[in-house]
Amino acid sequence: MVAPGFLQNPEVRRWLNGVEPAWTVLEFDSFNALHDEPSASNPAIRLEHNLTATEISASAVTANAVLLLRRAAETGGLKLTATGNLSRAVVDEMCGSIECPNYDKDELFRYQKVVNEPDFLPLHFVRILVQAAKLLRTYRGKLIPTPLGRRMLAAEQHGPLQAVLFHVGFWHLNLAYFDRYALDLRIFRGIIVNAGEKMHQRAGVKLHHGWVPERSSVA
């Protein structure tokens, strides 16, 4: 379903790095079904809510989201900077407890004596994602849990939280903000970055509507 010569384009070949993705052999309707967000009318991708604790433990993003939610609830809110990022004191604390497989925190501190939130990608990504999912909100200079965030935190199983984060992350978050590539290279990342604009209700939770624009992600 790719245009003639697409896979021979040097830029595309460099991006694919010798791999021919499955989507290049899909029919157009099948590609669209996988590209569009999951919904009652589009069951091509189904997000499982009833995951076991063992299965959830394999997701660093979900574990970090729970950690961030719990810390915000326990402290009465996480202090923010004027630009909307977590304060350096909060970042320092979270750096010691947040999970980040294959991420070298020692190297980060080797080159930066002062670490701001955007410098620590595992935390920066989760904070933006959790806010985009409407699990945290700003209030008087702090980041506090929303009623939805408290319900998710109180749940014995975090399968619904995993589903919400996956859904928002892949269909309603501007992932191009995190790759640090120039805009002209993002065209090849469209299969991941671009998503539908309709939200649906899953597990009794109305998800966040619309994109988180890049300018909001930077704030």
Q: Which of 32-41, 69-78, 119-128, 186-195 has the lowest mean pLDDT?
A: 186-195
Q: Percentage of the chain with pLDDT > 90?
A: 32
- Give start and end residues of each alpha helix (H) in 97-182: 105-111, 121-132, 147-154, 159-171, 176-179
113, pLDDT greater than 90? no
Minimal CA–CA distance to 78: which of 123, 145, 126? 145
Instruction: For residues 107 and 7, give the distance between their C-alpha atoms in angstroms, rounded to a whole number.
Output: 36
Residue 219: band (very low, low, confident or very high) from pLDDT cuts 50, 70, 90: very low
Q: pLDDT tens digits, residue range 14-34?
A: 888 888 777 778 888 888 888
Minimal CA–CA distance to 132: which of 50, 214, 196? 214
pTM: 0.73
At residue 105, the pLDDT reads 78
Which tokens sit at 160? 């619904």
With H, G, I as helix, E, B as strand and everything else as coil, classify residue 62: helix
Largest interatomic CA distance in the chain: 57
Query: Which residue is associated with the tokens 């790095």?
Result: 17
